[in-house]
């Protein structure tokens, strides 16, 4: 194993050891066994719903992972992304990174109904999102981890922060690093979590500028493989509909593996924010991409650690927030909705804006 691989492995191993030895949250003591005495079967209930949905819609696995990410980066992992607009709440679903983009809201509602039938008033929607992300990874043949549980649901959403806090698919490396650092996530977390783009799809509108007019040059992105460029141009003609879909991982689009990183090495990253991790001159992320490409186990271990770390951002616990009865509304306010859950659209990007 190369010296950098050894250092990275030691860093990941130490992170996992610390996660196992210390409370899962400084505020909250999130605990994988939180529901042991109140809803012991919650994991299997969530898994069964997702397994059934993914049989006909394998893309949903990437969508659910992305939903957890888009929740945590706004005001913490509190299920605020699920709240619909009401007379007192402006939904995050209408924010730029989410509008006509996020998917899986109806599936979360199906899960919540199944969980409420078994354990009424016990399991939060925030924990359902965290469990759904882990289960989606496993069903896509990716890693599993013990999900720290005990989050509670927010009483508010934040449309403004949803527009400000989520990384865009056109971000350069400096912008990506800064956005993740604002969440106390480092460059290893950035690269590992970006690896969730090994499954899912993206709409043409999120990368078409790379094909025709990169950075207003009138030319394609020079870091895009020319063969891949022609393939993408056939899928996304200039001036065509922006909602056409293509795979985030052109190699194994529905399998959670490390092919995402070998795609970057071949200049076959779909989004600018993906390829920046490898192609930025002098990038601090380059050696991590190379290590994950050559060692899937190393990637999986880093991904698990980063997902647990992300899942601890800004959690509500104890008497904070509430356990929503319906994930789309705070308790007692479902009658005030101004519109129902937004129509699901067809793009999931695991990490950047999955």
252 among annotated binding-site residues: yes
pLDDT score at 338: 41
- Give the domain ranges of the chain: 41-200+248-329
User: Any known ligand binding at 218?
Assistant: no
The span from the CA of 201 to the CA of 62, in Å, is 8
Kindly give, in sequence order, each residue whose CB lies less than 8 Å from that of residue 140, ignoring residues fewer than 6 positions away.
Answer: 58, 61, 62, 199, 254, 255, 256
* The pLDDT of residue 9: 52
Q: Which fold has domain 41-200+248-329?
A: Peroxidase; domain 1 (1.10.520)
Which is the catalytic residue, given 43, 68, 70, 141? 70
Q: Is 27 annotated as a binding residue?
A: no
Query: pTM of the prediction?
Result: 0.89
Does the annotation flag 71 for ligand binding?
A: yes
Nearest of 311, 344, 341, 308 to residue 126 by alpha carbon: 311
Q: What is the DSSP letter of 304?
A: H
Q: Are 305 and 9 in contact (CB under 8 A)?
A: no
pLDDT at 332: 87
141 is catalytic: no
Query: Which is nearest to 188 in space by CA: 311, 271, 288, 279?
Result: 288
Rounded mean pLDDT for each run of 10 residues along the chain, 354 residues in total: 52 47 50 98 98 97 98 98 96 94 96 98 98 98 98 98 96 98 98 98 96 97 98 97 95 97 98 98 96 98 98 97 97 56 40 36
- pLDDT of 5: 55
Nearest Cα to Cα of residue 100 among 352, 343, 349, 280: 343
3-state secondary structure of 202: strand
43 marked as part of a ligand binding site: no
| Structure tokens belonging to residue 77 | 């992992």
């Amino acid at each position: 194993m190369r010296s950098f691989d050894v250092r990275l492995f030691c860093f990941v191993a130490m992170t996992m050891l610390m996660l196992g030895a210390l409370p899962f949250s400084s505020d909250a003591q999130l605990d994988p066994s939180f529901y042991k005495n109140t809803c012991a079967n919650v994991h299997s209930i969530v898994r069964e719903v997702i397994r059934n949905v993914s049989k006909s819609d394998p893309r949903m696995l990437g969508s659910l992972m992305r939903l957890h990410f888009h929740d945590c980066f706004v005001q913490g992992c509190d299920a605020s992304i699920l709240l619909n607009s009401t007379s007192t709440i402006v939904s995050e679903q209408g924010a730029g990174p989410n509008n006509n983009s996020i998917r899986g809201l109806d599936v979360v509602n199906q899960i919540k109904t199944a969980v409420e039938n078994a354990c009424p008033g016990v399991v939060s929607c925030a924990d359902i999102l965290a469990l759904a992300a882990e289960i989606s990874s496993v069903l896509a043949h990716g890693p599993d981890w013990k999900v720290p549980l005990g989050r509670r649901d927010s009483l508010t959403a934040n449309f403004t922060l949803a527009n400000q806090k989520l990384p865009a698919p056109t971000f350069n490396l400096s912008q990506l690093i800064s956005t993740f650092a604002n969440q106390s996530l480092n460059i290893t977390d950035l690269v590992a979590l970006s690896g969730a783009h090994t499954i899912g799809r993206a709409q043409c509108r999120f990368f078409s500028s790379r094909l025709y007019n990169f950075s207003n040059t009138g030319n394609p992105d020079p870091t895009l493989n020319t063969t891949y460029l022609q393939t993408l141009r056939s899928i996304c003609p200039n001036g065509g509909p922006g909602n056409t879909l293509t795979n985030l991982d052109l190699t194994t689009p529905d399998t959670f593996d490390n092919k995402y990183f070998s795609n970057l090495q071949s200049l076959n990253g779909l989004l600018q924010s993906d390829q920046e991790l490898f192609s930025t001159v002098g990038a601090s992320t380059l050696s991590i991409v190379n290590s994950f490409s050559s060692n899937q186990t190393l990637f999986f271990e880093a991904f698990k650690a980063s997902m647990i770390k992300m899942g601890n951002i800004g959690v509500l616990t104890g008497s904070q927030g509430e356990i929503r009865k319906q994930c789309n509304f705070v308790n007692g306010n479902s009658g005030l909705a101004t519109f129902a859950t937004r129509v699901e659209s067809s793009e999931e990007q695991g990490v950047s804006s999955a």
